[in-house]
Amino acid sequence: MFTPFLVFGQDQVYFSETWNQDGGESALFYKNSSTTDDAGNVYMAGSAININNNHDIIIQKFDPDGGLLWEEIFDGAANMDDFAADIFVDDNYDVFITGSSVKLAANDQDLVVLKYNSSGVFQWYSYYDNGGSPTPKDFGTSITGDNNGSVYVTGGSFEATSNSDFITISIASNNGAQLWETRYDFAALQDVAAKIKYDGNNLFVSGGSQINFNRWELATLTYNPLNGDQLYERRSQGNATQGIDEVYDLTVDNLGNVYIAGAVRNLNSGYDMSVYKLDPQLNIIWENHHDGYGADDRGKGVKVDDLGNVYVAGFVSNPNEGKNYSLLKYNSSGVLQWAREFNGQANLDDEAVQLVIASNQDIFVTGTARNNANADFQTLGYKPNGELFTQAIFEGVNGLDDMPTGIAIDLAENIVVVGKMREANGNYKDVTVKYSLIERSGIAITPSNGIGKYLNNNVIVKFDKSQLNILNIDRKAFTAGRLDEFVDINLIGQMSKLTGFNWNRLTTYKIHRNATSADSLSYTRLGDTIRLPEFWTSLIVEIPEGYDELYIADTLKSIFGIHNAQLEYIYHTNSVPNDDFYGNYQLGLYPNSIYPNADINVEGAWEILDNNATDIGSSDVKVGIHDHLIDYSHFEFGPTGTLQDSKIRGGKNYKLNTNNIVNANTLTISHGTQVAGIIGANRNNDAGIAGIAGGDFAADPLNRVGVQLYSLGIFYLNWNTPSSMVAEAMIEASLNTNTGYGFGLDISNHSYGKFETGDKTVRDALKISWKNNTINIAARGNNGADANHQNIIEFPACYYDPMVINVMASGNDGEIKDLSNGSGNWASSYGVNGSIPSPSCKVDIMAPGTNSLVSTTSNSLDASTQSTCNVPNSQNNSNYSCFDRTSASTAMVTGVAALMYSAHRPETHWRYKNKLTVEDIENIMQKTASNQNTYSINNGYGLLDAREAVNQITSPYTVRHRNFYSWEANSTNMGVLNNFNVSKFGEYGIPEGTQFSSANKFKMEWDVSYTPSNGNEIIDWWESESLQKGGASNYNIATSNVYNYEINGDYFWENYTVDIPNNTVSGTVTTFYYFMSPGAPYADFWFPCPPNEIKYSYSLHLLNPTLSTSNQEFNSNITIYPNPAESSITVTNIQDFGQKRTIQIFDAMGREMRLINFDNNTDSAKQLNIDINSMSKGIYFLRLDDGSKHIIKKFIKE
């Protein structure tokens, strides 16, 4: 029994580069062009530099898989410069090229037409030489044919007056004989034809035509294709008095209407994009000019869809962003339907050059985009409604400027882009790139066996790297293809045999689309360099209909060379500054009388940071929002509404596989924007809400802007996303590799999850992120009242506790949100179900999650949020809304974690020797929460106390990491083990059951003893597993379960004691490692890692009482006894303090527990008895102060 539903909202498109091939070198200004035939072959015509440093015409034909079928070079008789301008392939697959060639040196350039048959055999050439003087130039610019014996060419031809005319000629396709020619000269000035089209009845030519020395117009002509007679003429009418009207493209629809795109210079706005619709007689049906921002704009391509809608591609000049791609859609009547812009990541000039329309009416635009200092091909796919749904980037091998010149589409809907890529010598090489559009359909299955929702017909398979085609893995643009393009054919044979169907040509998708096998090292947030597992070896494979996905996955696991196979699971979203809405609508942040027990006291945290001159969220700290894309245009994120001026400093749309998130301001789902607002909306900006780590706008609007936000769009246009996308984002967010891959985030917020079974792909991704020291914070879920999923476990929050901070929602009373203490018919999931103890999920912390307590930002186009609560929507036309559930709670915890991480860094104060790990933040949040370090099933450790959490990592407190490296240990060779079998070395490329010839066993031991200095006192400690690496078991190495990796996989035997009363650590830590010798053909290797990488760590929470006051610490012989004590203590030798004495007793968290004021009127008062019977067990500090000096002593209450 199962229930299907749609996952992606629409198909997820993989716009995968099938192949790219290059040709000869040429100068930049030499054009190249391409076309396809109905067999899927691809043709390119361009120019190539010869040995004499002149240019020859080059023609290439590729098969559908990118194989070069033939390449021909044409060198004109004079051995001078020749170039190709356009290419046409007829129904017989004969190839025709036009351009210019020098037949005789004295005659300069002549228009040339070449013919090759389908096999690349040269058939004929035809020259046209008008003999103009003193400028005897003739050249072809465009070519077409009628598939009935004629080809037609247009271009420019100079007369004796040194001016050019349109020249249009008809040539017999069988022998190259000229059938007719016709010229067009409007005013005895310059006329240059640019495009020619044949619609089956008429021939249309368009180009630029000069009317005086300062002005050009667009001229469009209709000819009779039988004899070349001119039938009609149409010239453009702009309102400019000077300048040029330019034509770049011409197309004809099925009714014979003509469409022309170009540029018209208008008086007040420079050049504008222009588009004309003419009837077959060239009467104007309509004309439109599009002015972007009052600067130069140009239309470069025009196409018409099956419904008569007209699309124009080009560029507009944006005053803040340089040139941007521009795509315009007009209906058949010329009414603008929408306009779209695209700005490359470098915020420099980006220009679209041409477009094509697919049979399903999708539009593909290519052009030059700058995502860094150099230009790339960037091809975008749009839906008819203007939605950008896919894109692809081509970056040449040299990493220099790459510039496309044209785009084509074949009958199989593959996209072909041609252009030029720059060489190191300054020349440009012709390049042809073919893309395939592969759509992943999105039907999810809800099974009845409790394994959780998953995507049908999909399995995720992790292969051994030895079984992969590394060349294709490392091609970043090759994101999807056939399985046999990725995986060894012999392994595929085993897969086919065991499952009963052929896997060779099954569609396969990369998970980590921008990672390669070179991503082997990562630089963690705490400064370590760690070796990465081969995460890039996981692929998604679509299997045929009708097979049980779980059975197939389990079957694949038995094959050597496959490390894991699983389902593609489905995840879903969980849903005193001067800021105007802070006082009434963010009641969960500060103490108030309306909900007196429900807040997390962020105001207290802000006060501590202000008093320590620490930013309310450091601009160096990077926080990722794994969610829907953030609407950066909200004024709470930046002053101008643009991405580059916002605090969203980067991100990625994982569905479109692009780092360009500029379209996030056009989306209507606010979930990511709501999460981001809680964490990082501008604080103290005299408007709206206050982000927890949103800086201090009033103090310094330029530099105290709060944490950096990164928008990681794992959801797009709907509320569900698959395992593969969650894992890809989790790893890319965290890594900072040797190749530059990854965002290197400090903190990641995960307000989403999935039910029931775990997900090894995502779990392994979370482990990689954890070991890179990213602090991951995840929502526990909202199913505490769901009878069908009673407190069901949810991931990633319920993975191994040290890896992730697991957040519940609290209600209006500060207790866990249930059906009675806040709006909504829902309850937060909790720890362990009392009646069903397994499976369990240990929760960490609570934070407010009701509409009454939480308000935040929402998308400017999201109308739905305005009806959910009464937050005003009155400022800067920007949206706000209330927000609830564990999504909101998680964002609150992330915001406080960002405050803690910002405050405790070596850059902030010399006392902070290291940044904080997830274990540090989790332990401090837990012990400072409302339950005071006591765990309960319902409330975890209680309601977050932001003030105390921040206080506990701010001087005089600190967290100190004690790291122990292999070179500090005592290593002992324990001897050699011979001739044994192991069963868990598949991930090392060793088949299960392999007879190992030997293994050398080593023991590594550290003395981890330590005594803090300089007045620091140990008040707590915990193991720092995220900093640990390596270490193996001491058991018999042949035992089958020894190497079945647990979630951590690091084995250390701890034999040390942290003696808090005596302020010492003493003892040892031991681990083992092995040098494995499996024997031929397998290479020897270290297990579990090379010994130089093994590391052990723990954290000490320290307090330096001497730093908590400004007066002098007194050195005396005051003592406290008994210590430890049960009911009372005696403080002795206090006579050296003055008459006005104050005694304060603080717990280990710095909270004042007792205050005693007394006068000393007699010199004989040498001691004081204090009753501590009512105090809880723990560590306390007694401070004796007379106003001029003080002393601090530690004691233990048992």
Catalytic annotation, residues = 627, 671, 887
What is the C-alpha to C-alpha distance for residues 713 and 731, in angstroms, rounded to an integer? 14
Nearest one of 929, 946, 895, 898 to 689, comparing CA atoms: 895
Q: How are beta strands 1095-1103 and 879-882 bridged, if at all?
A: unpaired
- Starting at the edge strand found earlier in the chain, the sheet holding 164-172 runs 138-145, 150-158, 164-172, 178-184
- Distance, first Cα to last Cα, the chain: 58
The 8-class DSSP code of residue 629 comes to P
Q: Please state the φ and ψ torsions of residue 607, each to the nearest 5 degrees.
A: -65, -45
What is the C-alpha to C-alpha distance for residues 470 and 642, in angstroms, rounded to an integer? 40
Q: What's the full length of the chain, in residues? A: 1198
Query: Which of helix, strand or coil describes residue 328?
Result: strand
- Backbone conformation region of residue 147, classed left if phi is above 0, alpha if psi is from -120 to 50, else beta: left
What lies within 8 Å, CB to CB, of 673 at 6+ separation is 628, 630, 631, 634, 856, 857, 858, 859, 862
Q: Which residues of 304-331 are buried (b: 16+ CB within 10 A; e: fewer)?
A: bbeeebbbbbbbbbbeebbbbbbbbbbe
Query: Which of helix, strand or coil describes residue 547?
Result: coil
C-beta neighbour count of 119 within 10 angstroms: 9
Q: How are beta strands 1112-1113 and 1064-1077 bridged, if at all?
A: unpaired
DSSP 6-51: ESSSSPEEEEEEEEEEEEEEE-TTS--EEEE-TTS-EEEEEEEE-T
| 1058 touches 1018 (CB < 8 A) | yes
Strand partners, 19: 434
- C-alpha torsion 1158→1162→1166→1171, nearest 10: -30
What is the C-alpha to C-alpha distance for residues 732 and 741, in angstroms, rounded to an integer? 7
Calculate helix-pair angle for 918-928, 885-903, nearest 10 degrees: 110
Q: Please state the φ and ψ torsions of residue 1100, each to the nearest 5 degrees.
A: -115, 130
Tokens for 227, please give them.
Answer: 């004899």
Q: How are beta strands 122-128 and 110-116 bridged, if at all?
A: antiparallel
**Burial class of 837 by CB neighbour count within 10 A (0 to 12, 13 to 18, 19+):** exposed
The 8-class DSSP code of residue 1127 comes to S
| 856 touches 690 (CB < 8 A) | no
| 125 touches 181 (CB < 8 A) | no
The 8-class DSSP code of residue 1189 comes to E
The 8-class DSSP code of residue 784 comes to T
Nearest one of 664, 525, 531, 429 to 1093, comparing CA atoms: 531
Helix H or strand E segment including 605: helix 602-611
DSSP 877-891: T-EEEE--HHHHHHH
Amino acid identity, residue 414? N
The 8-class DSSP code of residue 371 comes to S
